Structure 1
Amino acid sequence: MKTSELLKSRQFFPFFMTQFFGAMNDNLFKTVILISFTLIAAEQAGAWSNFANMAFVLPFFLFSAKSGYYADQVEKSAWIQKIKLLEIIIMSFGVVCLWFDALWGMVALLFLMGTQSTLFGPVKYSIIPQHVQREDLNTANAWVELGTFLAILVGNIIAGLVFEIETPKLVISILLITFAIIGWFSSRSIPDAPSLAMPDKPVQKHSTWSLIKHAKQNRSVFLSMLGVSWFWFLGAAYLTQLPVYTSQYLSSTESVITMFLVAFSVGIGIGSLLCSLLSAGKVEIGLVPLGALGLSIFGGFLAAIPPITGTELSLGDALASSTHWQVFFMLIGVGISGGLYIVPLYGLIQTRSEESERAQMIAANNILNALFMVMASIFGLVVLAVLKLGLDTFFWCLVVLNLCVAAYIFTLVPEFVARFLVWCLVNIMYRVKHNDLNKVIPEQGPAIIVANHVSFVDALIIGGLVPRPTRFIMFKPIYDMPVLNFIFRALRTIPIDSKTKNPEVYDKAFDSIAKALDNGELIVLFPEGKLTRDGEVDEFKPGLLKILERNTVPVIPMGLQGLWGSFFSHQGGNAMAKLPKRFLSRVALVSGEPVSHHIKSAEPLDLHKLREEVVRLTRQSEK
C-alpha cells in the first residue's frame, strides 16, 4: 500500500488522528504549565519545573508493567476509547487548576497526564500490527513518529503564542477540551483489535523489574529497546539544552528556538518516511547503523559550529545568519538520522515479540525510555553544572557516547551490521526487483525456501528481500570465506559439508535445521549443493527430502535472475577472480506458489518437478 493510501485508510487514519491529538494536547498543556510556573512563581520556577518533570515521568515506572499486561488481555480499540475519556476528565481538572493558579494541582495534573500516557503507550504500538499488513508496518510506524514530533512542535508553538493574547486562560481551556474531545471521537472509529493473549500461559509478575527481566529473555528485542531508549536519551539531551544553546551560545531570542524545533521535527518526519521508502515493504534493520552513523556525523558538525557573541539576534537576524542556517540543517540531519534509526527498531520490537505479549514488551520499552531520559537530565547536569564544561563540549560528549553505544549494540547483535551490508548490496550494487513475496511467505511458522544457486551473494540477496528473518544452509567452504563469514555468522547461517568429508558438520547441520523449523523459523536452501558452472540449474540433491522427513513444512520455490555473469558468479572463470564489469545490474527474485499439498497427503516431494518449477521461475518475467 502506498504511503498516502495507508494514512487515509479506515484501518489507520482514526488511530493516527487519536495519537496525534493526544500527543499535541500533552505537549500543549505541559508547556503551558511550565510557562505558568515562570509567571506565577518566577523565583521558584526551576524547582517547580523539576517537580513537574518528576511527576510526569514517575507513572512510567509505577504503572507500565500493569498497563502492558492489561493491554494484552483486552480488546484494544475499546481500551483506547476509555483512555481518551480519561484524558477529557484530566484536561477538565487541568483547566480548573489553571484558572485558580493552583501550582500543586498542576503538578498533580502532570502525574495524571503521565499515567494516561503510560496507559496509552503499550496499546499505541501493539495495535498497529493488528491493523496493517506486514509490508505496511514500517510505513505505519513512520507516520506515527512523524505525527508525534509534529504534534509536539505544534503543541509547543501554540503554548508560546497563546500567552501573547489578552485572554490566554480562556483560549487554552477551549483548546485543551476541544483537542481531547476530537481525540475521543477519533478513537471511536478505530477498528476492533481483539486480545491475542494465551489464556493457559503462566502469568508473569506485574512489577517493573520483573517485566524488564522478562523482556531481557528475548535478546534482540531487548537490545532494540536499549537502542530506542538511547535515541530518547539523545533527543532529551539535545532538546533540553536547545533553549540555552540558542540564547547563550548563539546569542539569539526565544523566537529562534521555534525555528530549530521545526528543523528537528521536520527532520524526524523526513527520516521516518525515508525509512519507509528504503525498507521496501519490510522491517529493514539494516538502516539502523546508517541512522546511528548519521546521528554522530551531524551531531559532530553541530558541536563544531562556533559560538556567536555580541548583540542579541532576532528571528529576522537569524534568518540572515549563515551560522543559524548551519545549525538548522544540522538539526534536520540529526532528525533524519533519528528517523532512520528509530523506526526499524520499533518494527523489530513489534514483529519479534510474541503476539500475546506485544503490549508488555512495548511497556518495557517505555520504562527504559523514561529511565534514559532521566539519565539524560542527570548527564546534562553533571557536564554543564558540576564540571562546568561548555555546550560544544557537551555535544561532543554526545557524539562520542553515541559511537560507543552503537558499537556496543552492534557488537552484541551483529545482525544489524550484516543487514546493513546486505542492504547496501541489494540497493547500491544491484537494481533488484521481486514479485510480491509477502503473498507467498507466511507471516509466521516454519517454511523452506529453495532457489537456484548462481553466485556467492545469492543468500544475501534473498535475505535482503524476504520480509522475515531467514536462516541459510550453506556449503562450509563458502561459509568460511573471509569478510562474508562475518555476515553469514551474524545472520545465523547453518554450515553444511558432505557426510563423507565431515560427518560431524553434516549431522550438526541437520540437527540445527530441525531445531530451527521446530522454532517456526524460515530456512533457505540451495538444493543443487554448489554454484552453477554453466548458468543452468543443476540436479537437486536429496538433502531436502531428509529435512522433510523430520519436519513436514511448506516448500517455497524461487528463481534468481540476472546474477550469472556477475563478479560473484563462475562465468568466464572462478568467481571473484576477475575485475567486476557490471554495476547496478538488473537482478530479479521470482517466487512460485508454496508446495504443501505433497506434505499434507504424505506423498514424497518430487525433486525433479520442484527443479523444473525453479527452472521455470528463473526464466519467467518478473511482474
Structure 2
Amino acid sequence: MDKPLEQVDQPTTELRIGDPAHLPPLTRDVSFWGMTVTQFFGAFNDNVFKQLLLLMGVNQVVNGEGQDLQGIAMIIFSLPFLLLAGPAGYLADKYSKTTVIVLSKAAEIVAMLLGVIGFWYFDMFGFAGLFVVLFLMGGQSTFFGPAKYGILPETLHEHDLPKANGIFLMTTFLAIIFGTVAAGVLRDQLGGASTVVTASAAEVADAVSVQSSSNLWVGSAICVVIAVIGTLTSLLVRKTKPAKPYAKLTIGACTVPPSAIRLFRAQPAMFKALLASCIFWLCAGVVQQSVNSLGVVQLELSDTQTSIMNGLIGVGIALGCMIAGLMSKNRIDFRIVQIGAWGISASLALLALPGPFHGHLLGFWGSLPVLVILGACTGMFSVPIQVYLQAKAPLSQKGEVIAEMSRANWVAILLSGVLYGLFDKILNDFHLPRCYLFAFTVLIMLPVAIFYHPPSEDLE
C-alpha cells in the first residue's frame, strides 16, 4: 500500500527553525528585513540590466539596425530558470536556504562584473556578449529564487505569511520600478542610440557608433556595488536547517520530481493555482515588451519616458501587493484574485485601443494612470496565489514546490518572448499599430478571469 501523501519523503528531523513562540514580531524581525533588503537589491540589478538590453533591442527597429531583439532577450533570460529550476529546488532543500542565498548573492557580484566587461567591449562582442551575461544573471536568480521564497514559511509564523508576502512583493516591485526607470535614464544619459525616426545611412552609422562606444559600463559598475551591499545584507538572514539533508542529486532533478507530480495530482487546487500563475506571468512578459514597443516605436518617446511607463506598472504592483496583504488578513482570499484578473483584462483592453495620439487612444499621459491600475490589479492577483502555494505545500516539499512554481512561471516568461515575436510579426505584416499587442494579451488573460474561481481558505 502506498504511504499517505503527507508521509511521502518526509525527513526524520524537525524542519521548522526553533520554536515559533520565540520568533520576534514581524516588524522587529531583523532576519526578515535583511531578506527583504537583499531581495530588493537583487531585483533592482536584474531589472536595470534586463531593461537596458530590452531598450537596446527595441531601438534596433527605430534606428534601422535590424529586428526587435526584445523577444530573444526574454528567451535568453528565461532559459536558465527552465533548465536549472530542478537543481535549484534540490539545493534549497538539501542545504540551508540561508547558505544558498548568500552564495547566490556572491554569484551576482560576478555576473555584474561580467556586465561591466560586456558593455566596455561592446564594439568587440556586440549583443552576443551581453546576452551571455543576461543568461548568467538568469542562472544566478534561478538558484536564488527557491531559497528566498522557501525561507519565509520556514522562519515566520504562518499567520504572518500574507503580511510578509505583501511587504516582500511590494519592496520587490519597488525595486522593479527603480531598476526599470534607472535603465531608461542610464541609456539616455550615458550613451546608446536614442530614438531616430528618420535617418540617413550616415546618421544610422553614427547612431551605431554612439551605441557601441557608450558609457553604459558605468551603470553596470554601479550594479556591482549594489550586488556587494545585497550580499552583506544577506548575512542578516536567520540560519535555517536543511529540509532534506539526505537528498541526492539525480538526473530526475532536472525534470519535475515524481513527488511533486504526486502532490499536484493529490491536490488539484494547487495545480490550478500553478496554471493561473503561469498564465499571469506569460501576460506579464508580453506586457513589458509591449510597453517598450508602444513607447519607443509608436509614441516615439525617449527611453526614460518609456521606462517610466513600465516603472508605473511597478508602482501599481507595490500598491496592489499591499492592498492584497491587508485584505487577506489571516486567510487566502481568492476573491481578490478575481478582482485582479478582471482589472488586468480591462486595463489591457484600454491600452489596446487606437486613437489620436500617434495612433493610440491614451497616448503617453493617458496611459500612465491605466498602467498604475494594471499594476495594482497585478499585485492583487499574485499575492493570494503565492501565499496559497507556500502555505499548502508540505513542509518537506516547500522548496521543491516553489522551485516547480518558479520553473513553470519561467517557462511562461520564455514563451512570452516567443509570443511577442509572433505578435510583432503579425503587426508588421498587416501594418497595424503597436498598441494592438495589448489586445493579444487580453485574449490570454480572459480565460483566467472567467474560469478561475477557487474557494477562499483560512490560515492557521
Distance 1:150 1:12 in 2: 17
- Counterpart residue type for residue 343 of structure 1: V
- Superposed, which structure 2 residues align to 1:222-621 within 5 Å? 222-250=271-299, 252-304=301-353, 306-309=355-358, 324-386=364-426, 388=430, 389-410=432-453, 416=454, 418-419=455-456, 466-468=458-460
Change (3 A) 1:210 1:197: closer
Distance 2:236 2:438 in 1: 44
- Counterpart residue type for residue 33 of structure 2: F
Displacement, 1:251?
A: 5.1
- 2:47 matches 1:27: yes
- Equivalenced residue count is 404
Change (3 A) 1:251 1:78: closer
Q: Pick the aligned partner of 1:18 from 15, 38, 41.
A: 38
Distance 1:354 1:64 in 2: 19
Q: Pick the aligned partner of 2:77 from 56, 64, 70.
A: 56
Distance 1:81 1:116 in 2: 11
Distance 2:100 2:381 in 1: 30
Question: Which 4+ stretches in 1 moved above 6 angstroms?
Answer: 36-43, 200-204
Q: What residue is the counterpart of 1:501 in the other structure? A: none
Q: 1:150-204: per-residue Cα shift (whole Å, max 9, x none)?
A: 2122123223323414883563243122111001100111011212238599989
Distance 2:435 2:71 in 1: 24
- 2:88 matches 1:88: no
Which structure dedicates a bigger proportion of its chain to strand?
Answer: 1
- 2:137 matches 1:113: yes
Displacement, 1:120?
A: 0.7
- Counterpart residue type for residue 51 of structure 2: T
Distance 2:59 2:367 in 1: 30
Distance 1:379 1:146 in 2: 28
Unaligned ranges ≥5, structure 2: 1-24, 192-213
Q: 1:230-264: per-residue Cα shift (whole Å, max 9, x none)?
A: 11112112211112223454454444323322321
Q: What residue is the counterpart of 1:78 in the other structure? A: 99
Q: 1:24-65: per-residue Cα shift (whole Å, max 9, x none)?
A: 112222334456678999766647655543332211121111
Unaligned ranges ≥5, structure 1: 313-320, 411-415, 420-462, 469-623
Q: What residue is the counterpart of 2:230 in the other structure? A: 183
Q: 1:394-453: per-residue Cα shift (whole Å, max 9, x none)?
A: 43343343222333433xxxxx2x43xxxxxxxxxxxxxxxxxxxxxxxxxxxxxxxxxx
Q: 1:40-99: per-residue Cα shift (whole Å, max 9, x none)?
A: 997666476555433322111211111101211211111111111111122222222322
Distance 1:392 1:91 in 2: 34
- Counterpart residue type for residue 181 of structure 1: V
- 2:241 matches 1:194: yes
Distance 2:146 2:419 in 1: 27
Q: What residue is the counterpart of 2:184 in the other structure? A: 160
- Counterpart residue type for residue 272 of structure 2: L
Displacement, 1:272?
A: 0.3
Q: 1:270-299: per-residue Cα shift (whole Å, max 9, x none)?
A: 110001111123332332112112222333
Change (3 A) 1:47 1:65: same
Q: What residue is the counterpart of 2:269 in the other structure? A: 220
Change (3 A) 1:169 1:249: closer
Q: Secondary structure at the match of 1:257?
A: helix
Q: 1:191-228: per-residue Cα shift (whole Å, max 9, x none)?
A: 11212238599989212344674563232222111111
Structure whose CA Rg is larger: 1
Change (3 A) 1:195 1:398: same
Distance 1:359 1:135 in 2: 19
Change (3 A) 1:37 1:136: same
Q: Secondary structure at the match of 1:287?
A: helix
Displacement, 1:7?
A: 5.5
Change (3 A) 1:46 1:8: farther
Distance 1:331 1:47 in 2: 23
Bigger relative contact order, structure 1 or 2, given CA contacts below 8 A and separation 6+? 2
Change (3 A) 1:215 1:370: farther
Displacement, 1:322?
A: 7.3
- Counterpart residue type for residue 236 of structure 1: G
Distance 1:253 1:89 in 2: 31
Distance 1:200 1:32 in 2: 39
Displacement, 1:107?
A: 2.2
* TM-score (normalizing by structure 1): 0.59
Distance 1:72 1:198 in 2: 7
Distance 2:115 2:358 in 1: 41
* TM-score (normalizing by structure 2): 0.78
Distance 1:295 1:147 in 2: 21
Q: 1:95-118: per-residue Cα shift (whole Å, max 9, x none)?
A: 223222233332222221111011
Distance 1:162 1:296 in 2: 32
Change (3 A) 1:100 1:40: farther
